[in-house]
């Protein structure tokens, strides 16, 4: 069981770190670059990104990271250890599942769906684009930070753990 716990924790650490990097890139330069384009071009580019991100590789890592996080959350609740590992497993899992997956579902996806209905070049779309960039990026900062904090928490668990 210890080897399974170690493997789940390692996979969760790597997945959270990878997702944190993707979201960090969007927060630190991709959205800024899109916002610098003429609104119709930035909007069209983000619409394209929102379609192409729905691929097996990205979704495999994004949702594939949620699976070990869920397992580790359940494990940490059911088999609480006094060795200081369980709190980090629970924190990392909650950070990713709430701060990344849930935020994506309730904040970023609805904005992406609204953006999909806009017509690049429509004057009304320009003000909506500016609001989209501001609000979507703010929520993306939350996802990036939560994913990085989750990876850190799992990394601490790996350092403290006695995984056999």
Domain limits, the chain? 2-160
pLDDT at position 162 over 90: no
pLDDT at 1: 54
Output DSSP code: residue 118: -
pLDDT for res 51: 98
pLDDT for the residue numbered 92: 98
Predicted model pTM: 0.94
The yes-or-no verdict on residue 105 having pLDDT over 60 is yes
Q: Phi, psi (5° rounding) for residue 112?
A: -65, -40
* 2-38 residue pLDDT tens: 899 999 999 999 999 999 999 999 999 999 999 999 9
Span 89-114, average pLDDT: 98
Average pLDDT over residues 118-122: 94
Note the pLDDT tens digit of each residue in 24-75.
999 999 999 999 999 999 999 999 999 999 999 999 999 999 999 999 999 9
């Amino acid at each position: 069981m210890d080897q399974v716990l170690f493997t789940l924790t390692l996979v969760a650490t790597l997945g959270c770190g990878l997702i944190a990097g993707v979201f960090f890139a969007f927060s630190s330069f991709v959205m800024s670059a899109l916002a610098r384009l003429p609104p119709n071009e930035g909007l069209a580019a983000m619409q394209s990104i929102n379609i192409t991100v729905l691929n097996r590789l990205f979704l495999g890592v994004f949702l594939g990271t949620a699976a070990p996080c869920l397992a580790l959350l359940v494990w940490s609740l059911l088999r609480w250890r006094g060795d200081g590992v369980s709190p980090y497993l629970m924190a990392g899992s909650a950070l990713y599942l709430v701060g990344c997956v849930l935020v994506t579902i309730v904040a970023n996806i609805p904005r992406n769906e609204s953006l999909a209905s806009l017509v690049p070049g429509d004057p009304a779309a320009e003000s909506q684009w500016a609001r989209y960039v501001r609000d979507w990026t703010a929520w993306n900062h939350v996802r990036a930070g939560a994913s990085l904090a989750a990876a850190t928490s799992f990394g601490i668990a790996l350092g403290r753990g006695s995984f056999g």
